[in-house]
Each structure stands twice: as structure tokens, then as C-alpha cells.
Amino acid sequence: MSKEIEFFTFLLEQYAAYKNTTADKILKQLDDLKLTDYVISMYEMYHSEAIENAFADLDRLIAEKE
């Protein structure tokens, strides 16, 4: 497993806990909004900053697409 996918899995699990839902539901939402590849590509930024910043970015990205 690549470091990007490993971190993406971690991020999904943490974001799901933050949103009080499951990682499966978050992944489906990202897939439906065509954001999954983009979030994976943000590995360098997301893994080097506070995870709360990644959560805020995910909230913004999802809100813009919905």
C-alpha cells in the first residue's frame, strides 16, 4: 500500500469520526462528488499540517460540490 493510500485511509477514518459517521459513507460521498482522486492527491499538504485543517478543507470541498 502506498503512503498516499495509507494516509487517505487514515484521513477517511478520522474524518468519519469527526462527522460522526462511517468511513464507507465518507468514501461514497467523495466518490459521488468526484473528489476522491483530488483528496488523495493532496497527501503532501494534508499529512504535513494539523488534521483539523484537512477536515476544514474537506468540509469546504464537499459544500462547494453539493
In the block, cell 462511517 appears at: 22
Handedness of CA 31, 19, 65, 38 (dihedral sign): negative
Per residue of the chain (66 residues), what is the pLDDT tens digit?
Answer: 688 889 999 999 999 999 999 999 999 999 999 999 999 998 989 889 999 999 999 999 999 988
Q: State whether residue 2 is helix, strand or coil.
A: coil
Q: Cα separations (Å) of 60 from 3, 6, 30? A: 24, 23, 12
Element housing 45 (H / E): helix 43-46
pTM over 0.75: yes
pLDDT tens string 5-17: 899 999 999 999 9
